[in-house]
């Protein structure tokens, strides 16, 4: 994972910022989804203000190292039963660091490296998920896990890979009833 710190309305905002190596950094609402509540704070002052504002609203946040070299893109590996059945690279629209398709990003099929495939499978296994979508960033120190979705959408991955993943999921369920 990228260097990440979680707070319960921590008073010591500066030490959270320092922990992830200072600005630029990413602040995420714990309950966010589809890129909403994911903020890039470019400076130390901006980071401090935003974290304090969220704290004031009693919204819990994650503070995370910003992975600049991923250049607004991430990778989604779709896993069924210990196998990557499809993978895509999502690229945020121009000027946007969030690659979410709901934020205007676009997706293309991608061939995972062995390292990326192993990281994704390990994440799925750690969480005991038969079906999941593992999101990773490509960083200068290899793949970093961003999140693991236990109810990943099918539309984006099926369109990008031209694969019938729904049928793979149904066969997996049939084997396990």
Ligand X SMILES: Nc1ncnc2c1ncn2[C@@H]1O[C@H](COP(=O)(O)OP(=O)(O)O)[C@@H](O)[C@H]1O
User: Contact positions toward ligand X, by CB under 6 A?
Assistant: 2, 26, 28, 32-35, 38, 64-67, 70, 74, 92, 97-100, 135, 137, 146-147
**Of 32 and 130, CB closest to ligand X:** 32
**Of 7 and 70, CB closest to ligand X:** 70
**Of 144 and 168, CB closest to ligand X:** 144
By three-state DSSP, how is residue 76 classified?
A: strand
Residue 3 CB, nearest approach to ligand X (Å)? 9
Residue 175 CB, nearest approach to ligand X (Å)? 30
Residue 22 CB, nearest approach to ligand X (Å)? 14
CA distances from 32 to 36, 95, 138, 146 (A): 6, 21, 22, 13
Residue 66 CB, nearest approach to ligand X (Å)? 5
Tokens of 157: 């991955």
Contact 50, 39 (CB under 8 A): yes
**Of 95 and 175, CB closest to ligand X:** 95
Residue 92 CB, nearest approach to ligand X (Å)? 6
CA distances from 54 to 23, 38, 45, 49, 66 (A): 17, 12, 14, 9, 19
CA distance 118 to 95: 31
Quote the DSSP letter at residue 152. -
**Of 55 and 139, CB closest to ligand X:** 139
Contact 75, 152 (CB under 8 A): no
Quote the DSSP letter at residue 93. -
Contact 10, 16 (CB under 8 A): yes
Residue 5 CB, nearest approach to ligand X (Å)? 12
Helix (H) or strand (E) holding 96: none
**Of 13 and 62, CB closest to ligand X:** 62
């Amino acid at each position: 994972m990228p260097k990440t710190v979680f707070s319960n309305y921590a008073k010591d905002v500066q030490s959270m910022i320092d922990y992830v190596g200072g600005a630029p950094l990413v602040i995420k609402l714990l309950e966010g989804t589809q890129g909403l509540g994911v903020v890039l704070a470019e400076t130390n002052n901006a980071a401090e203000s935003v974290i304090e504002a969220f704290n004031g609203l009693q919204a819990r946040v994650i503070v995370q190292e910003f992975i600049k070299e991923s250049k607004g893109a991430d990778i989604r590996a779709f896993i069924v039963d210990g196998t990557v059945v499809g993978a895509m690279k999502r690229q945020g629209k121009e000027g946007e660091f969030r690659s979410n398709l709901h934020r205007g990003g676009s997706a293309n099929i991608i061939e995972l490296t062995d390292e990326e495939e192993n990281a994704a499978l390990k994440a799925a296994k750690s969480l005991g998920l038969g079906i999941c979508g593992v999101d990773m960033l490509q960083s200068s120190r290899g793949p970093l896990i961003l999140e693991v979705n236990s109810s990943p959408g099918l539309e984006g991955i099926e369109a990008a890979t031209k694969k019938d993943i729904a049928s793979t999921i149904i066969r997996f369920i049939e084997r396990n009833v």
